[in-house]
């Protein structure tokens, strides 16, 4: 039965607990945005801050060993924290398949999707969520997502939804050479000559993939698809459809730039873990997704992460150059728990690894663990 749009509890139950999601609400063809989703002005993207004459670099990866290309990648990671890659080697068919698989998953009936809600899922490695952390978010974000943490093929076969499992695994495997190549290039500027068993686990020891669904929204200007945040990953590889709506902060400014969809491209961004390991040289930049009045949007990020059991901090090779460490060593699973304790709030997660710590949040319970 359709929920009351004015009874916040009833609406939240419909969206969050019954498998309908924000998508189910959007499909009721509502004409105005319920209060539950109305964000404060500070949380919305101020369109007057968007600059149109600039954009993040677009890098052709066909000759990724070329010193000019290496320089473009390292410069982009330092100065933008975000770039797009084309000719990246991940077959376009694999990208199309994973987008189709995402649509297939979200087209399942609510009763089917409900099985993957955090409270029902038999594994903590798979969870379907609306908003970001509905247990914590006071105002909900206009988004549903399925989050899959990769442990092994057997685990994926057992627990990931059948309608998207094979395509997600293929996307993850086919993107591995690109991930390795990007990391190999990025560490050269940190005085590390190769990716090997001493650094690979920290840089790419675990993988999480999210299927993001941003349904059409009657009042997109009043809410957010995803509030401003930085990722907790080492690197994020993002596949987006042709809708657009992802905005990125321009380093050290109050301006934002749009990431225009380019067919066949992937968007790469540096996450907090690599900002910490590079002692601040590479930038984990805030980003934001706006809601859209006319189109449903999907995106599929692969978060390339350290292993939860790794202790991360500025890499020894970076400190050996005489730099003062800006971050302390933290257990990666503690860092991720900290991220999942609070609603999206710009770049504040990284304070957890700064020497002057935001001690207040240690006492808060965490909802999702790595
Ligand atoms: C994310 C994210 C961006 C997008 O899932 O962390 O920032 O375009 N997604 O969906
Ligand atoms: Ni993100």
Q: Does 356 score more than 90 pLDDT?
A: no
pLDDT, residue 355, reads 83
- 174-187 CB burial, b ≥16 within 10 A, e <16: bbeebbebbbbbbb
Q: How confident is the model at residue 369 (pLDDT cuts 50, 70, 90)?
A: confident
In this prediction, residue 361 carries a pLDDT of: 55
Ligand nearest to the CA of 272: 2
Which of 237, 289, 295, 304 to probe ligand 1 with, by most ligand atoms within 8 A of CB? 289
CA distances from 184 to 89, 136, 192, 208, 332 (A): 16, 38, 9, 20, 21
For residue 366, pLDDT beyond 80: no
Dist. CA 107 → ligand 1 center (Å): 20
Q: Which of 44-48, 310-314, 365-369 has the lowest mean pLDDT?
A: 365-369
- CA distances for 174 relative to 15, 63, 90, 185, 237, angstroms: 34, 18, 6, 19, 12
Look up residue 80 and give its two tokens.
């933008």
At residue 291, the pLDDT reads: 98
CA-proximal residue: ligand 1, atom 8 (nearest): 246
* Mutational pocket test of ligand 1: of 142, 233, 239, 246, the residue with most ligand atoms within 8 Å of the beta carbon: 246
Pocket lining: 227 vs ligand 1, CB cutoff 6 Å? no
Residues with Cβ within 8 Å of 296's Cβ and at least 6 positions away in sequence, in order, are: 23, 26, 213, 214, 215, 216, 243
Count CB atoms within 10 A of the CB of residue 334.
Answer: 16
Residue 359 has pLDDT above 60, yes or no: no
Say yes or no: CB of residue 267 within 6 Å of ligand 1.
Answer: no
Percent over 70 (pLDDT), the chain: 97
Q: What percent of the chain has pLDDT over 90?
A: 93
The pLDDT of residue 270 is: 98
Mean pLDDT score, 53-63: 97
Q: How far apart are CA 223 and CA 290, in angstroms?
A: 8
Considering the chain, what is the average pLDDT of its residues? 95
219/224 Cα distance (integer angstroms): 10
The predicted-structure confidence for 9-36, as pLDDT tens digits, reads as follows: 999 999 999 999 999 999 999 999 999 9
Please give the pLDDT value at position 362. 57
For residue range 68-114, what is the model confidence (pLDDT) as tens digits?
Answer: 999 999 999 999 999 999 999 999 999 999 999 999 999 999 999 99
Asked whether the predicted pLDDT for residue 124 surpasses 90, the reply is yes
Mean pLDDT of 198-211: 96
Report whether residue 212 contacts ligand 1, using a CB cutoff of 6 Å: yes
Does the structure show a pLDDT above 90 at 160?
Answer: yes
Give the ligand whose atoms come closest to the C-alpha of residue 299.
Answer: 1
Predicted local confidence at residue 96, as pLDDT: 98
Residue 344 confidence (pLDDT) above 70: yes
Which whole number is the average pLDDT over 268-280? 98
List all residues 6 or more positions away from 121 whose beta carbon is below 8 Å from its beta carbon. 115, 127, 128, 159
Q: Which atom, in ligand 1's list, is nearest to the CA of 301?
A: 5
pLDDT score of 4: 87
Mean pLDDT across 263-292: 98
Of all atoms in ligand 1, which is nearest to the CA of residue 225?
Answer: 10
Give the per-residue pLDDT at 2.
Answer: 86
Contacts 24+ apart (CB under 8 A), 174-180: 174/90, 174/91, 174/94, 175/90, 175/237, 175/266, 175/302, 177/89, 178/61, 178/85, 178/88, 178/89, 178/90, 178/237, 178/266, 179/204, 179/235, 179/237, 179/302, 179/304, 180/204
């Amino acid at each position: 039965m359709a929920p009351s749009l004015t009874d916040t509890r009833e609406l939240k139950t419909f969206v969050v607990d019954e498998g309908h999601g924000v998508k189910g609400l959007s499909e009721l063809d509502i004409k105005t945005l319920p209060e539950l989703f109305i964000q404060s002005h500070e949380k919305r993207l101020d369109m007057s801050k968007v600059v149109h004459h600039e954009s993040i670099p677009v890098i052709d990866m066909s000759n990724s060993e070329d010193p000019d290309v290496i320089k473009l990648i390292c410069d982009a990671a330092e100065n933008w924290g975000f770039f797009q890659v084309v000719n990246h080697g991940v077959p376009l068919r694999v990208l199309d398949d994973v987008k189709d698989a995402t649509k297939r998953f979200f087209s399942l009936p609510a009763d089917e999707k409900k099985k993957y809600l955090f409270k029902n899922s038999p594994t903590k490695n798979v969870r379907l969520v609306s908003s970001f952390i509905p247990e914590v978010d006071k105002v909900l974000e206009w988004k549903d997502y399925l989050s899959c943490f990769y442990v092994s093929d057997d685990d994926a076969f057992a627990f990931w939804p059948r309608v998207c499992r094979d395509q997600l695994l293929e996307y993850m495997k086919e993107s591995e050479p690109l991930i390795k190549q990007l990391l190999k290039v990025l560490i050269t500027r940190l005085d590390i000559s190769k990716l090997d068993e001493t650094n690979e686990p920290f840089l790419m020891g675990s993988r999480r993939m999210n299927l993001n669904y941003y349904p059409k929204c009657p009042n997109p200007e009043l809410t957010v698809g995803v509030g401003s945040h930085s990722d907790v990953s080492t690197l994020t590889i993002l596949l987006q459809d042709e809708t657009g709506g992802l905005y990125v902060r321009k380093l050290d400014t109050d301006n934002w730039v749009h990431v225009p969809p380019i067919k066949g491209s992937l968007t790469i961004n540096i996450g907090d873990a690599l900002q910490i390991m590079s002692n601040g040289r590479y930038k984990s930049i805030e980003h934001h997704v706006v809601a859209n009045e006319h189109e449903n949007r999907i995106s599929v990020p692969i978060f390339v992460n350290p292993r939860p059991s790794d202790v991360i901090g500025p890499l020894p090779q970076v400190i050996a150059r005489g730099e003062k460490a800006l971050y302390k060593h933290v257990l990666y699973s503690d860092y991720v728990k900290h991220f999942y304790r609070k609603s999206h709030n710009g770049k504040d997660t990284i304070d957890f690894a700064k020497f002057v710590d935001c001690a207040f949040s240690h006492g808060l319970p965490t909802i999702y663990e790595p």
